[in-house]
Structure 1
Amino acid sequence: MGQTRIALLSNPKSTGNLSQLPRIRAFCAEHPDIFHYEVEQAGQIGEALKTIARVKPCMLVINGGDGTVQAALTELHNGGHFADAPPPVAVLPNGKTNLIALDLGAQGDPITALGRLLEIARSDLASSIVARELIALRCGDSTGKPVIGMFLGGAGLADTMLYCRDRIYPLGLPNGLSHVITALAVLVRQIFGVRASFLPPDTEPVQVSVRRSGQLSGRFSLLAVTTLEKLLLGSGLRGSGRGPLKLVIIEQKPGSLLRGIWAGIAGRLGRSEVRGVHVEESDEISIESDSSNVILDGEMFRASTGKPILLSPASPLSFVRLAV
C-alpha cells in the first residue's frame, strides 16, 4: 500500500452525514490512499487521532459539523499525538452551520470537496496551506486544559443559536429556511420589542473585559469572538491590532442592531465608528454574567459570577484552504 495522503475523520451522527456518508464511504473505498476513521461520539476522537498518527497522513480531513471540528482541534492541541508536527487540517462542508468550512473555502458537495483535497494532497500541498489562529477557552481557571475553537457566540447571539437549534431545526425544514425564520424571529423580538413564548428569550446582562481596552457591561444583541476571516456580518474585520481574537459586540438597542447589520453588509464593520457597535482585537478576553451561555463551535458553556469564561489565543495550526 502506498503513502496515506488523507486521513478522513468522520462523525456519522453529524446531521449532514446522515445522507452523505454512504457516498463518502464508497469514495474512500475507491481511493486506497485515504484512511477513513469513523467515530460515534466526541469522546472517541482522542483514540482516533492516536491511530491516525500511526499512518502519518499528509492531511487530516474532518467530516462533521463545527462541534466535531472543535473536538478534533481540542484533541490536536492537548493530546500531543503528532508531537509538534500535526498534519494540516481540512474541513468538509457538512453539518448545520459550517462556519469553519466556509472560512476555508469548502462549500457545496462534500464528495467534490474531498476529491479536490485529494488532488491537493497528491501534488503541491504547500501552496494551499494557510495558518489560522485558534481560541483557547477556559472556565474560571486559567491553568486547566483549554477547549479549542474558532468561533464563539455569546449574549443574544448564543440565545439565537440555541433557539434555532432547539426550536427551529426540529421542524425539519431546510437549513437555509431555518436560518431565515430564526433571523426574522430575532428582528421581531429585538427591533419591535415583541415578547412571546415562540420567540427568542430576553438576553441576560453580561460583563466583557478586554485586556488593555477596559470593560463593557449590559445586554447585547450580539457578542462574537473569532479568529475566522469570514464572519456572520461581513467578510472580515479590522480592529485595534492588539491581538488575534476579534471581538464584536452590538448593544441591545433596535438602532444599534440595524446599524451593525448595515455596517456588516457594507463592509464597514471594524473599519469605521458605528454607534452601539464595538469592535476590538485582543489577546485576552473574559466574559462574566449571573447566568449566560456562550457557544464555542457548537459546544455550550455557561458564564457565571466568579467563574468567567476566559479566552486567549492557542498555538496556530495549519489548515488547507480550497480556492473559492
Structure 2
Amino acid sequence: MIRLGLIRNPRSQRNRSSHGDMAGRAAEMLGLFYAEPATPAELTEVLADFARNEVGIIVVDGGDGTVREVLTALPEAYGDQQPMLSILASGKTNLIAADVGTTGHGTRAFCRLVEEARRGYLGSHIQRRPVLEATWADGSRPPVRGMFMGTAAFTRGTALAQEKVHSRGLYQGPAVALTIAGALARALRGKDGWLDGEPMNVVVDGSNGPEANRFLFLATTLHRLVLGIWPFWGEGREPIRYLDISAHPESLHRAVVPLMRGRPEPFMLADGYRSGVAETLTLGIRSPFVVDGEMFDPGPGGTVHLSAGRSMDFVIP
C-alpha cells in the first residue's frame, strides 16, 4: 500500500463548516501523516517529515492556492524523488482539480481515497502536468510554483472578483468565468482605462516580442479550464501555453467569443492577439501578477522568468 499523507487547509471555503468531523477522521486514519500547517515554513517542515517517512501520495484538501503552496514547497522537502498528489477540491477556485481530476471534497471523498489506497487501486489513474515556475531575476523572493498565471487585465479582474464575486458567494467555475467576463465587460465599456493595459516586455524562448503595453497576458500548463473557456491557440509540444494581447486590441467586441474558445478570426492574428506554446517566458513587468489566485509583486528588478522544468503526477480513484 502506498502511504498517504494529508495537507488540509481549514480556511478553504468548503472546509470551514466541516473542520471537526474531517480533522477527527483524518487523524484517526492517518495518524502522524495529517497536518494543517499555518505557514509556508511549517508546510515545508511537514512535507520534509512526510518524505522521511516515505509518504508516496499527498492528499491536498484545499483550492488552487493550497495546491500552489504545496507545489512550491515540494522540491525543498522531497528533492528529486517527488510524491504524487491527489486533490480534494474545497477552495474558492479549483481550476487545477477541474483539469487533473478530483475525488470530490469532504470526509466522504477522503475516506474513499483511503479505501482505494488500501485496496491497492490508488495510483492506477494518473494525470501528469508540467508545473509552472515563476522565478524572480533579482532574487527578491523564492520561486513560486503553480499551474496558471495572469497579469494586466487579469490582475485587475482578480481584484474585482475578490471584492464582488466571492463576496456574493460565487465560487468554482462561476467565479473564474465572472472574473474574465468582468474584465472584458469593463474594457468594452471603456471603464477605468482597462484597454490602456500595463507596460510589459515578453520574451518567448529567447525571442523578444514588442515592448509595449499589454491589455491581457495569461500563461498555463493546464490542459483545460472551466465552462469550455480556452483562450489559447497554436500547435506544439512545449509545456507552457500563453496568450498575449496588446493594449487597445483591434475590435475586441468581435474577438470576445472566438477568444474565449481559442478559435481566432483572421483579423485577430493580424493585429494584437498572440498565442502559442513555449518552453520559457520572460516578462518585464511593473505591476502585480497572479499565480493560482494570489497576487505577487514583480520586485524591484521587474523581471520574472516562467518555466516548466518539473512535472507532477496527480492521482484519482
Q: CA deviation at 1:294?
A: 0.8
Note closer, same or farther for the CA distance 1:216–1:117 as it changes in structure 2 (3 Å cut): farther
Asked whether the 8 Å contact 2:198–2:215 carries over to 1, the reply is: no
RMSD over aligned CA atoms reads: 3.5
Q: Superposition pairs for residues 147-162 of structure 1, below 5 Å?
A: 147-162=144-159
Q: Superposition pairs for residues 135-150 of structure 1, below 5 Å?
A: 135-141=132-138, 146-150=143-147
1:134 aligned residue (124, 131, 136): 131
Q: How far apart, CA to CA, are the structure 1 residues paired with 2:242 and 2:175?
A: 26
2:246 aligned residue (243, 251, 264): 251
What stretches of structure 2 of length at least 5 have no aligned partner?
A: none
2:274 aligned residue (273, 278, 283): 278
Note closer, same or farther for the CA distance 1:310–1:320 as it changes in structure 2 (3 Å cut): same
Q: CA deviation at 1:284?
A: 1.6
2:171 paired residue number? 175
1:57 paired residue number? 55
Q: CA deviation at 1:14?
A: 2.8
- Map Cα deviations across residues 23-68 of structure 1 (whole Å, 9 max, x no partner): 3224325635893111122231111112222332231111122222
Q: How far apart, CA to CA, are the structure 2 residues paired with 1:170 and 1:266?
A: 25
Please state whether the residue corresponding to 2:90 is helix, strand or coil: coil
1:114 paired residue number? 110
Residue 186, structure 1, aligned to residue 171, structure 2: no
Question: Higher mean Cα deviation, 203-212 or 97-106?
Answer: 203-212
Letter in 1 for 2:220: T
4+ residue runs of structure 1 moved beyond 6 angstroms?
A: 269-273
1:101 aligned residue (84, 97, 100): 97
Note closer, same or farther for the CA distance 1:266–1:163 as it changes in structure 2 (3 Å cut): closer
Letter in 1 for 2:214: F
Asked whether the 8 Å contact 1:292–1:304 carries over to 2, the reply is: no
Asked whether the 8 Å contact 2:123–2:316 carries over to 1, the reply is: no
Q: How far apart, CA to CA, are the structure 1 residues paired with 2:73 and 2:176?
A: 30
2:220 paired residue number? 226
2:18 paired residue number? 20
Q: Superposition pairs for residues 287-298 of structure 1, below 5 Å?
A: 287-289=283-285, 291-298=286-293
Please state whether the residue corresponding to 1:31 is helix, strand or coil: helix
Letter in 2 for 1:208: V
- Map Cα deviations across residues 219-272 of structure 1 (whole Å, 9 max, x no partner): 434311111111356358553426211111233447554455422554536999
Q: TM-score, normalization: structure 2?
A: 0.82
Letter in 1 for 2:83: P
Q: Superposition pairs for residues 211-222 of structure 1, below 5 Å?
A: 211-222=205-216
Note closer, same or farther for the CA distance 1:298–1:47 as it changes in structure 2 (3 Å cut): same
Sequence identity of aligned pairs in percent?
30
Q: CA deviation at 1:83?
A: 4.2
Please state whether the residue corresponding to 1:295 is helix, strand or coil: strand
Residue 263, structure 1, aligned to residue 258, structure 2: yes
Q: How far apart, CA to CA, are the structure 2 residues paired with 1:186 and 1:137?
A: 24
**Count of aligned positions:** 313
Note closer, same or farther for the CA distance 1:274–1:22 as it changes in structure 2 (3 Å cut): farther
Note closer, same or farther for the CA distance 1:259–1:94 as it changes in structure 2 (3 Å cut): farther
Q: How far apart, CA to CA, are the structure 2 residues paired with 1:308 and 1:103?
A: 29
Q: How far apart, CA to CA, are the structure 1 residues paired with 2:108 and 2:265?
A: 35
Q: How far apart, CA to CA, are the structure 2 residues paired with 1:243 and 1:182?
A: 27
- Map Cα deviations across residues 94-153 of structure 1 (whole Å, 9 max, x no partner): 211111111112275444442443344232334212221112211124898532211111
Q: How far apart, CA to CA, are the structure 1 residues paired with 2:102 and 2:267?
A: 30
What stretches of structure 1 of length at least 5 have no aligned partner?
A: none
Residue 309, structure 1, aligned to residue 304, structure 2: yes
Letter in 1 for 2:294: E
Note closer, same or farther for the CA distance 1:220–1:110 as it changes in structure 2 (3 Å cut): farther
Asked whether the 8 Å contact 1:12–1:18 carries over to 2, the reply is: yes
Q: TM-score, normalization: structure 1?
A: 0.81
